Amino acid sequence: MEEQNFHVVLFPFLAHGHINSFISLASLLHRHDSNLTITFVSTPRHIQSVRSSLPHSSIRFHSLPFFPESHGLPPNTESFADLQLPQFLTFLYATESLQPAFDDFISTIASDATSHGAKVVIVSDLFLGWTVEVARKYKVFHSVFLTMSCYGAAIYLSLWINLPHTKTTSDWFPLPEYPDIILHRSQLSKPLLMADGTDPGSIFQRRELSLCCKTDAMLVNTIEEIEKRWLEMVAKFLKIPIFPIGPLLCGLKPTSPSVETEIIEWLDLHPPASVLYISFGSQYSIQKNQMWELALGLEASRRPFIWVIRPPLEFDAKDEFKGEWLPDGFEKRIKEQKSGFFVHGWAPQNAILSHKSTGAFLSHCGWNSVLESLNSGVPIIGWPLGADQLYNVTLLVELGLCVEVARGNMETSEVEKEKIANAIEMVIGDNKDGQDIRKKAKEIREMVKGSYKDESCSSAKGLAEFLKIIKTAVDN
């Protein structure tokens, strides 16, 4: 600590996706400047698993005590993954109880830093707005690391701060802060449609997000080349500097090597850019009737596919595969024709996307999946199911590398097999639209891969400017 100038405290929200992006950020900061003192803050179980992902001896870990039982949650709960949907809100509120312990920790390291001539910098998460209050109390620099797209975050912040949307009568409406962004009603997720501004969910989101808007700077897991306009717009509106530092790619967990080998060998049998990969991320799923429609669309397209099958929404998320999830005889026909590969578990997504036979990705447009697809130059068939996915898809369509095929996973969401088959044909097939979309995906891959090529490249510059600004800010 004595010879360190900066002590960077990384504190992600308690959700695996967020924690994984922060792990990548810790590695990036460490690679960039091994003299930085970095402390990763989380709850005990997360810290245990994060330790093995960050073996650099100079990275420290700090566990905040967390008592989920005192909020009526099961003991040992430390993430949404441990809970059912009705308990999510209680969990959000429970995370606010980490404030006193975090306050103590910052108090200790801030006074320690002062006595050694070092400076403390907090890098926290969008849903931990109260960390801004702690930063102000100890006069340390605060920044937010956005693990979503800048465009998605701008919309998310605006929609939750300007509640309610129940009275939105027109189908299309502009955002008050960003009139250039016109949203469609169908882009409002269920929680947003239900939020009236006074219910506990609205109160939590408004409080945390409004506090986050008072941060000193933002880092975004994106690249300038695809979000320049939105980065500038948000920086102007919030009056803070915003730095793109992506792509920070972070595989959530490994797949069993035998499954990975089997998938790669299956992909090896197919011509370049011919296979469709289908996955709705780590936690989302669709209705059974939508799954049937997707299956029929796949069959009609006659294109080979890899499908990561999760239980439909009507079933328990931990259920084993059941034949009734798919149309009669579908799985048997596909297996006989060797035209599809079903993954009943965790897929090696990055290995699949970077395989030369993969031609398109039917995705829910979670931001990590998007970045991984862009990094491999694979065009996207978008089927957003909720949250920021509903905005990411628009960004991707505007970029020219995605077609949206369906929206949402509620019973009312329309899914048509013909539309799915046509979209697959358009993106993978030999036609002008497909050629354009594939060309665009390749162009963007070069931009994404080039973002850290040398010091003048966009994300390398973003990171360097962030480190420069914290130095100037804390010195003043």
| Residues of the shown chain interacting with ligand UDP in the complex, contacts defined by CB under 6 A | 17, 251-252, 279, 281-284, 308, 346-347, 349, 366-369, 372
3-state secondary structure (DSSP) of residue 41 = strand
Instruction: Classify the phi-psi angles of 310: left when phi > 0, otherwise alpha if psi is within -120 to 50, otherwise beta.
Output: beta
Smallest gap, in angstroms, from Cβ of residue 380 to ligand UDP? 11
Eight-class DSSP state of 63:
E
Please identify, using beta-carbon distances, which residue of 277 and 452 lies nearer to ligand UDP.
277
Smallest gap, in angstroms, from Cβ of residue 281 to ligand UDP? 3
Smallest gap, in angstroms, from Cβ of residue 365 to ligand UDP? 8
Residue 74: count other Cβ atoms within 10 Å of its Cβ: 10
Q: Are 441 and 435 in contact (CB under 8 A)?
A: no
Instruction: Classify the phi-psi angles of 86: left when phi > 0, otherwise alpha if psi is within -120 to 50, otherwise beta.
Output: alpha
Paired tokens of 465: 């400017």
Please identify, using beta-carbon distances, which residue of 281 and 462 lies nearer to ligand UDP.
281
Please identify, using beta-carbon distances, which residue of 231 and 308 lies nearer to ligand UDP.
308
432-450 and 417-428 helices, crossing angle to 10°: 70
Please identify, using beta-carbon distances, which residue of 252 and 269 lies nearer to ligand UDP.
252
Please identify, using beta-carbon distances, which residue of 279 and 451 lies nearer to ligand UDP.
279
Please identify, using beta-carbon distances, which residue of 215 and 282 lies nearer to ligand UDP.
282
Smallest gap, in angstroms, from Cβ of residue 310 to ligand UDP? 8
Q: How far is CA 330 from the centre of its chain?
A: 32
Please identify, using beta-carbon distances, which residue of 68 and 281 lies nearer to ligand UDP.
281
Paired tokens of 202: 């609205």
Q: Which residues contact 198 (CB under 8 A, 6 or more apart)?
A: none
Smallest gap, in angstroms, from Cβ of residue 193 to ligand UDP? 19
Smallest gap, in angstroms, from Cβ of residue 348 to ligand UDP? 7
Instruction: Classify the phi-psi angles of 348: left when phi > 0, otherwise alpha if psi is within -120 to 50, otherwise beta.
Output: beta
Q: The tokens 């409406």 sit on which residue?
A: 173
Q: Are 245 and 466 in contact (CB under 8 A)?
A: yes
Smallest gap, in angstroms, from Cβ of residue 88 to ligand UDP? 14
| CB-closest chain residue to ligand UDP | 366
Smallest gap, in angstroms, from Cβ of residue 389 to ligand UDP? 7
d(CA 428, CA 398): 19
3-state secondary structure (DSSP) of residue 301 = helix
Please identify, using beta-carbon distances, which residue of 219 and 347 lies nearer to ligand UDP.
347
Eight-class DSSP state of 96:
G
